[in-house]
Amino acid sequence: MANVKVRRLLLVALGGTVGTAARLGLSLALPDGGGFPVAVLLANIVGAFLIGVLAARLPAAADLRLLLGTGVLGGFTTYSAFMTGTLALWTQAPLLAFAYAAGSLVLGLAAAALGLRLGRPRARRAA
């Protein structure tokens, strides 16, 4: 039992390392536009969509879901950078910061719902 827990912990740690590095790479490739956290917004929306797909396709206890969902996508998406970006934007443009925060939540939820919908296995039609 202890070996299973250690394996699962290592899967999440490995995935989190990959996901966090991918988020950093995205933010280096897409620097903030005039203080607007473009990379964080994109990472959170794409990550929410992919988490929805994984949730629809893989059982919650699957090792692959731990590695990819909790690990990679958990590291790729970021609540802390979302809040930090929102607060930094708030000092310059409060209305834009509010729109960014609200838009991020709505778009993230919509992306996750779309991922769940598209990720569900299709029923085969009888010929």
Per-residue DSSP letter, 114: H
Report H helices in the chain.
2-29, 38-57, 63-65, 74-76, 79-92, 94-119
- At 31 the pLDDT is 84
**Residue 122 burial (CB count, 10 A):** 6
Q: pLDDT for 26-75, tens place per residue?
A: 999 998 878 899 999 999 999 999 999 999 999 888 899 999 999 999 99
In whole angstroms, what is the distance from residue 103 CA to residue 43 CA? 14
Every domain of the chain and the residues it spans: 2-119
| Cα distance between the two ends of the chain | 47
At residue 33, φ and ψ (nearest 5 deg) are: -85, 105
Residue numbers in the known binding site for Na(+) are 74, 77
Residue numbers in the known binding site are 74, 77
Structure tokens at 121: 């296995």
